[in-house]
Structure 1
Amino acid sequence: MLHTRTRTAVLVFLLPPLMLYLVAVVAPIVASLVLSFFDWDGITSMRFAGLGNYAHMLAGDDIFWRAVVNSLVYLAINLLFQLGLALLLANLLTYLRRGRELVKTLYLLPAVVSTVAIAFLFQRIYSVEPRGLINQMLVSAGLDGLATAWLSNVGTALAAVSVPEAWRFTGLYMIILYAAMLAIPREIEEAARMDGASEWQIFRRIRFPYIRPVWITTAIMAATYSLRGFDIPYLLTNGGPGQATELLTTYMYKTAFTSTNFGYASAIAVFIVIECVVAVGLILLSLRRRAGAVI
């Protein structure tokens, strides 16, 4: 009887969030999948196109493939900063004796600041006239030749729009990894130090293996958020100059709301979902293989 009541209670509490997930997440994905097989401008009647949108996307759209490459570069930069820097900061934070709460708060602030505010902030940082923070520092250091229009230069624009997104969530992932490190039994680390282990060996052999499940979750969060990144690149460059910073998300938005080709935009949206699923699978596969190799 108690077991039945427990199952009933679980179902009662799970049903509302499950229904919300189905309505807010699954239903739009299914609707996009259905719409991707049609040509529709949002006003006239839908015309069935079969796999025509996908054929054009994969074989006849150079901008799409440029956006795919840009999205992968954007993903790589974000993962490098967010996961690498967050792990480093979380590890260093465990050695901090005073001001730990202040440091955590300062690093977490960007995650709660408005996206528009972050975009305006980095527009000023990258500014040429009036001279922004980066160019001012380069000039002050006597490196005038390196000063450039970071958001207008084809060679630097993609990295320039990637950095704000990386900076925005590094503190959040740092807090998550730091919380995982706090759960590590200190007796194990103290025993390793008594045996002569260095701090690097403790991190590599004790800390990182212990927080690996949290690390995998954080990697999945960072990868999926980066592949769906839209607001900051769109606000900073709108995909320009040319298609230098055109991501799949910005291209999908323009296709839907500028070109009013909702069927083709839905096909791009389906591709983004598949891309996220593949990225998650690759992360899980690579980290599990690495864990097996370590063992």
Structure 2
Amino acid sequence: MLPNRSRTSVLVFLLPPLLLYCAAVLFPILQSLFLSFFSWNGISEMEFVGLQNYVRMLTADDIFWRSFFNALLYLAICLVLQLGGALVVASLLTSLRRGRELIKTLYLLPAVISTVAIAFLFVRIYSIDPVGLLNQLLHWVGLGSLERAWLSDVNTVLAAVSAPEGWRFTGLYMLIIYAALIAVPKELEEAAVLDGASKWTLFTKIRFPYIRPVWITTTIMATTYGLRGFDIPYLMTNGGPGQSSELLTTYMYKTAFTSTDFGYASTISVFIVIECLVAVGLILFMLKRKADS
């Protein structure tokens, strides 16, 4: 549909980022796929083992399955905080007349703060000795019996490392959803109000269906990033205590650079890629099916 000159211009501008994407994303994925069929410690010669690493991962590695289920729970908590919080805040912002820019800036700040700073900030918040902010607040409101070492308790550590990740990106997704909400045609909303629609009906029948494409994109972004979450859990607990907060990403990293089993670590990385693709497919399928119904 474009003239030859325009097509050439498009190709010229697309080629550099496409090459960069291939070098930074596609090549490492293919390299990991290749290494997953070998046993290699990074120094000696690679030994071809075929599907042995995959069989070991799926049938003989309890830590892998513990990390997998931890990653799913970690993802669920992140999605509730990020998407749920973002939708609520964005909806409230559309009804505000003053202070919108200040609130948007405050919510967006965590996304631009260093990951290391966020990790150490929450380590102090969860601290039991010296008493951190969370335990101090529980004491002030008369819930001192709930005070604990949140990062050392196997029952709370996974939720504790998920909360900073959810808090970090809530503002970013809020901004995306807010931009979609203010683009909803006012004529549709006014017509619905004149017909006697409640605020809930207005949101579920007018606003949300209109922003569904943006919601799908945001959900995919949050899901894939949550499944690849690494830095904050690793910095806060390093997967401990035991494997209570071990994720597939942290387990893969330690397998590669602590156990120097690069072949098996590559197998785990291939699984993470497949997991992300399956998650995206399920999201698109479920949301499309719901839209059709």
TM-score, normalized by length of structure 2?
0.99
In structure 1, what is the equivalent of residue 61 of structure 2? Answer: 61
In structure 2, what is the equivalent of residue 184 of structure 1? Answer: 184
In structure 2, what is the equivalent of residue 245 of structure 1? Answer: 245
Per-residue deviation, 1:173: 0.1
Which 4+ stretches in 1 moved above 2 angstroms? none
Give the length in aligned residue pairs. Answer: 293
In structure 2, what is the equivalent of residue 49 of structure 1? Answer: 49
Per-residue deviation, 1:196: 1.1
Structure 1 residues 197 and 14: alpha-carbon distance in aligned structure 2, compared to 1, 3 A threshold: same
In structure 2, what is the equivalent of residue 84 of structure 1? Answer: 84
Amino acid in the other structure paired with 1:60: A
Q: Summarize the alignment of residues 187-226 of structure 1 with structure 2, pairs less than 5 Å apart.
A: 187-226=187-226
Q: Secondary structure at the match of 1:81?
A: helix
Amino acid in the other structure paired with 2:167: W
In structure 2, what is the equivalent of residue 150 of structure 1? Answer: 150
Amino acid in the other structure paired with 2:29: I
In structure 2, what is the equivalent of residue 29 of structure 1? Answer: 29
Q: Secondary structure at the match of 2:181?
A: helix
Structure 2 Cα separation of the partners of residues 88 and 284 of structure 1: 22
Q: Summarize the alignment of residues 153-168 of structure 1 with structure 2, pairs less than 5 Å apart.
A: 153-168=153-168
Per-residue deviation, 1:68: 0.3
* CA offsets 1:144-194 (integer angstroms, 9 cap, x no match): 111111000000000000000000000000000000111111111111111
Q: Secondary structure at the match of 1:34?
A: helix
In structure 2, what is the equivalent of residue 260 of structure 1? Answer: 260
Amino acid in the other structure paired with 1:177: I
Q: Secondary structure at the match of 2:242?
A: coil
Confirm or deny that 1:279 pairs with 2:279: yes
In structure 2, what is the equivalent of residue 94 of structure 1? Answer: 94
Gaps in structure 1 of 5+ consecutive residues: none
Amino acid in the other structure paired with 1:114: S
* CA offsets 1:253-272 (integer angstroms, 9 cap, x no match): 00000000000000000000
In structure 2, what is the equivalent of residue 6 of structure 1? Answer: 6
Gaps in structure 2 of 5+ consecutive residues: none
In structure 1, what is the equivalent of residue 292 of structure 2? Answer: 292
In structure 2, what is the equivalent of residue 113 of structure 1? Answer: 113
Structure 2 Cα separation of the partners of residues 151 and 25 of structure 1: 33
Structure 1 Cα separation of the partners of residues 103 and 144 of structure 2: 33
Structure 2 Cα separation of the partners of residues 100 and 84 of structure 1: 19
Structure 2 Cα separation of the partners of residues 169 and 200 of structure 1: 26
Per-residue deviation, 1:2: 6.9
TM-score, normalized by length of structure 1?
0.98
